[in-house]
């Protein structure tokens, strides 16, 4: 059954997301942006974004000549972007077009949000908007990036970095993680969960998780974490512990830690905290107004703990979150 939004549609124009596609751009990240920001959302009763692709040339050969993109807007479309997603491509040593870099600088100067997927961090850095800022990029280009842009604070072992008005993600699949993070930031956890279900993708992987895991596909089915994860998600309000989860999985706590690191790139405690915080956000969006009740039902214990976690992880207090995403509110400014 389609997930119902807790928000009421309003007449304000949706937030405009524009993707610049340039010569040799990667089609996967372009597809991720289209899937997350460009599709209609009948299950929500409204469209989340006004989405456009643009290019500096009428014909744009994509990566390795796989296909040629035509029929999209010209680079002038970037001038109206509220969020501008910049080009990414595998030839990171080749300078970007001057017109593209200037469009990025103008967007940044007027306050637009900038997003770089994978090697898009190189484009942002070349435009000069990342100086002194936090960012990430694919791990295999970390040395090259640091050598070329020493003033950027590169974080190499994370999925994505949210530095306010500039956001960057690591390798290709992390574009989906960052895209869902942006949807969650703009429209709340319920809407982001609806989008992730349509993608059949994990609703929330924290940006601080590692870029890669030791063993993405379990070697044996009986080592899968899926059963214990599903059970824990149904019992987040219970006093769950790492040792208790390990017993549920019939392994030692040390083995459970190894499997979480290998398969999810995080620790059991960090995963539990992220799941509980996501549940707390959903409860607030659905109308639960008592902070202590939200904390208890999400397993976060006290209102003070919930308040501290939300401020640290989301950047909003529970009251601010309720005002922005609670029942009867519009999607709010992105």
pLDDT digits (tens, 9 = 90+) for 257-274: 888 888 777 889 988 998
| pLDDT tops 90 at residue 106 | yes
What is the mean pLDDT of the segment spanning 198-224? Answer: 52
pLDDT band at residue 329, thresholds of 50, 70 and 90?
low
Residue 264 gets which letter from DSSP? H
pLDDT band at residue 147, thresholds of 50, 70 and 90?
very high
Better pLDDT: 139 or 283: 283
* Helix residue spans in the chain (DSSP H): 27-33, 98-109, 120-126, 142-148, 174-187, 189-199, 226-233, 242-248, 253-264, 268-285, 291-297, 303-313, 318-325
Residue-wise pLDDT tens digits, 49-78: 999 999 999 999 998 878 999 999 999 999
Residue 40 CB burial class (10 angstroms; 0-12, 13-18, ≥19): exposed
For residue 169, give both structure tokens: 């993600």
| pLDDT tops 80 at residue 36 | yes
- The predicted structure's pLDDT at residue 209: 47
With a pLDDT cut of 90, the percent of the chain lying above it is 51
The CA angle 216-218-222, to the nearest 5 degrees, is 155
Helices vs. strands in the chain: H and E counts, helices first: 13, 11
Q: How far apart are CA 206 and CA 158, in angstroms?
A: 9
What is the mean pLDDT of the segment spanning 276-293? Answer: 89
Residue 51 CB burial class (10 angstroms; 0-12, 13-18, ≥19): buried
Residue 134 CB burial class (10 angstroms; 0-12, 13-18, ≥19): middle
| pLDDT tops 50 at residue 8 | no
For residue 296, give both structure tokens: 């208890």
| pLDDT tops 60 at residue 334 | no
For residue 53, give both structure tokens: 């692709």
For residue 292, give both structure tokens: 């202590």
Beta-strand pair 160-162/73-74:
unpaired
Better pLDDT: 106 or 224: 106
């Amino acid at each position: 059954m389609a997930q119902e939004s807790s928000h009421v549609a309003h007449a304000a124009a949706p937030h405009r997301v524009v993707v610049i596609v340039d010569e040799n751009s990667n089609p996967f990240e372009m597809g991720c942006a289209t899937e997350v920001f460009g599709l209609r959302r009948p299950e929500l009763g409204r469209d989340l974004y006004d989405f456009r692709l643009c290019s500096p040339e009428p014909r744009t050969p994509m990566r390795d000549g796989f296909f040629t993109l035509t029929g999209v807007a010209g680079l002038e479309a970037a001038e109206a972007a509220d969020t501008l997603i910049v080009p990414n491509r595998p030839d990171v040593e080749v300078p970007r077009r001057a017109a593209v870099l200037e469009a990025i600088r103008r967007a940044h100067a007027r306050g637009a949000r900038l997003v770089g997927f994978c090697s898009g961090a190189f484009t942002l850095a070349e435009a000069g908007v990342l100086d002194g800022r936090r960012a990430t990029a694919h791990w295999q280009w970390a040395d090259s990036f640091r050598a070329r842009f020493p003033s950027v604070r590169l974080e190499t072992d994370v999925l994505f970095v949210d530095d306010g008005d500039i956001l960057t993600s690591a390798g290709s699949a992390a574009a989906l993680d960052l895209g869902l993070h942006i949807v969650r930031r703009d429209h709340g956890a319920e809407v982001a969960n609806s989008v992730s279900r349509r993608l059949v993708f994990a609703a929330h992987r924290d940006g601080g998780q590692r870029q890669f895991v030791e063993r993405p596909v379990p070697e044996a089915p009986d080592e899968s974490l899926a059963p214990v994860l599903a059970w824990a998600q149904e019992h987040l309000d219970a006093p769950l512990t790492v040792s208790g989860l390990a017993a549920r999985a019939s392994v030692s706590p040390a083995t459970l830690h190894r499997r979480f690191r290998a398969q999810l790139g995080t620790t059991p405690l960090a995963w539990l905290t992220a799941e509980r915080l996501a549940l707390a956000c959903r409860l607030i969006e659905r109308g639960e107004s008592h902070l202590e009740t939200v904390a208890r039902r999400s397993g976060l214990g006290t209102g003070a703990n919930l308040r501290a976690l939300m401020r640290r992880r989301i950047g909003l207090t529970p009251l601010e979150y309720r005002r922005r995403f609670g029942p009867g509110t519009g999607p709010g400014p992105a």
